[in-house]
Structure 1
Amino acid sequence: MDIRVRGAVPADPFLGAADLFETEHNLDRPVHANVREDPDERTWAAHYDDRHVLNISEQAATSAMARELIVHELAHMARNEEGHASHHFRTEEALFLALSGESVERRKIAHCYQIANHMKDIYADDITLSVTPPEKLVSFFESELARAVSDRSDPSPWPDSRRVTTGSDPEITAVNAAFALGLVERHDIVDETHRLYDLAHAAADDAPEVDLDAFKRRFRSLGADPSASDYRKTLVDATRAYVVDSGGAVAAD
């Protein structure tokens, strides 16, 4: 794999991530990693005909999770190269189909994009968890969910595409908890005595209009290689479940 790092950080986490990734997968296009000084910079990948671009904050690139974060973004690149439906579908199309004729708060629209990102992350982490141990990911979910449940006044997110919290909103926090449970159950990582379940149910108690178990099943049961139409339907159904079925929308005039 051709990975080029631009920024004043050690290259070891990037090279270590590439070595792990290459035990099971590969990329045809080179990866250009841009390390940003802004600590709030999200870790995210962009895809072009001749390269992938990984944007990551200096803080994230030097954190204990650096290698795992980079593997996660490499997994998104792999999904893009293989033409996976989740990584070649415009979220806007699903929102239009799901919410046509509805009046929806702007924050709810933002939450719908996060739900779509969670679905992409499920497919990326199917790859991530095939090459990395799950312990750090589970600990990350646990700590972020504990922070969200205990202090919803803290608006600062984890600077990463897989961030679990979005500050003070209990509804999306409950969906985020469902995502975490759906992923760990999909890969049979923890049992139901794990603290993650207690935290998730605490989040659900604060958002009774969100069906935690239903969203958990949605994330857990995503088909491995859906067609474009199947993926569209799944995302439309999830969007309507969050916005319309939970009472988050009213009919437009």
Structure 2
Amino acid sequence: MELRVTSGGPAEPFLGARDVFETEHDLEQPVEVHIRENPDERTWAGHYDDHHVLNISQQAATSAMARELALHEFSHMLRHERDHPSHVLSMDEVLFLALTGRSVERRVLTHCYQIANHVKDIYADDITLSVGPTDKLVAFLESELAAALADQPVAGPTVGQRLTAGADPSMTAVNAAFALALLERHDAVADDHRIYDLAHAAAEDAPEIDVEAFRERFVDLAADPDESDCRRGLVDAIRTYVDAQETTTGPAAD
């Protein structure tokens, strides 16, 4: 696996991730690591005809999670090279099928993309967690969920008026379902782990979201679905989420 760090920053986490990844897998195309200054854009992968790009913030590249984040992105790259349906399906097509005839708020449309990304992340981390330890991931997911719960919107004097943006309770509930599903797929937590209490709190904050149903949906994702099954599952998950939201006015998603 050819790896090149092209921006200023530490190379060790990426070389370490490569060494771990290569114990079980390999990438056909070379990887360029671009370290960015924007701390809000933690990591993302770009795929091109002859190479991949791992974009990572300076903050993330120098964090304790740097190696694990790189390993996660390498796994996305492998799924893309192997044409896994979750990574190559057209989201425009999925959204058209899921949202035809529906009108949704822009924030809900953004959440639809997040749900699709959860599916991608589960398939990527099925690779990541087959070669790497789970301890840091468990702590990371627990911390992220706790932070989202602490950042819930504050209601104003008028019912429904929000004085702070905060984390969206509906999406936090889906995120909780995703976290539990990912960890359960790899037997990474005991039944009495604190993350279950956090997920329960997230479910109470968003009673319109069936956290258990989303957890089961994510945990039961087939290891090797065909394109039709993957598309059908995404469409159903997105429709379920959109239908759980209150009727709102906003730009038509279709």
What is the TM-score normalised by the length of structure 2? Answer: 0.91
Residue 221 (structure 2) pairs with residue 222 (structure 1): yes
Shift of 1:249: 4.5
**Match in the other structure for 1:53:** 53
Give the residue type in structure 2 aligned to 1:200: A
**Match in the other structure for 1:76:** 76
**Match in the other structure for 2:12:** 12
Shift of 1:153: 5.4
How large is the Cα RMSD of the aligned pairs?
Answer: 1.6
CA distance, structure 2, for counterparts of residue 249 and residue 73 of structure 1 = 37
Residue 115 (structure 2) pairs with residue 115 (structure 1): yes
Give the residue type in structure 2 aligned to 1:53: V
**Other structure's SS at 1:205 match:** helix
Larger-gyration structure (1/2): 2
Shift of 1:91: 1.4
CA distance, structure 2, for counterparts of residue 249 and residue 5 of structure 1 = 48
CA distance, structure 1, for counterparts of residue 142 and residue 214 of structure 2 = 18
CA distance, structure 1, for counterparts of residue 166 and residue 189 of structure 2 = 26
CA distance, structure 2, for counterparts of residue 130 and residue 111 of structure 1 = 28
**Other structure's SS at 1:86 match:** helix
CA distance, structure 2, for counterparts of residue 89 and residue 167 of structure 1 = 31
Give the residue type in structure 1 aligned to 2:213: A
The answer on whether the counterparts of 1:102 and 1:249 sit within 8 Å (CA) in structure 2 is: no
**Match in the other structure for 1:213:** 212
The answer on whether the counterparts of 2:105 and 2:248 sit within 8 Å (CA) in structure 1 is: no
**Match in the other structure for 1:41:** 41
What is the aligned-residue identity percentage?
64
1:1-253 matches, within 5 Å, as 1-152=1-152, 167-244=166-243, 246-249=244-247
Q: Which runs of 4+ in 1 moved over 2 A?
A: 151-154, 247-252
The answer on whether the counterparts of 2:149 and 2:167 sit within 8 Å (CA) in structure 1 is: no
**Other structure's SS at 2:103 match:** strand
**Other structure's SS at 1:104 match:** coil
What is the TM-score normalised by the length of structure 1? Answer: 0.91
Shift of 1:8: 1.7
Could you say if the C-alpha distance between residues 153 and 63 of structure 1 is closer, same or farther in structure 2, counting changes exceeding 3 Å? farther
The runs of 5 or more residues in structure 1 that have no matched partner are 155-165
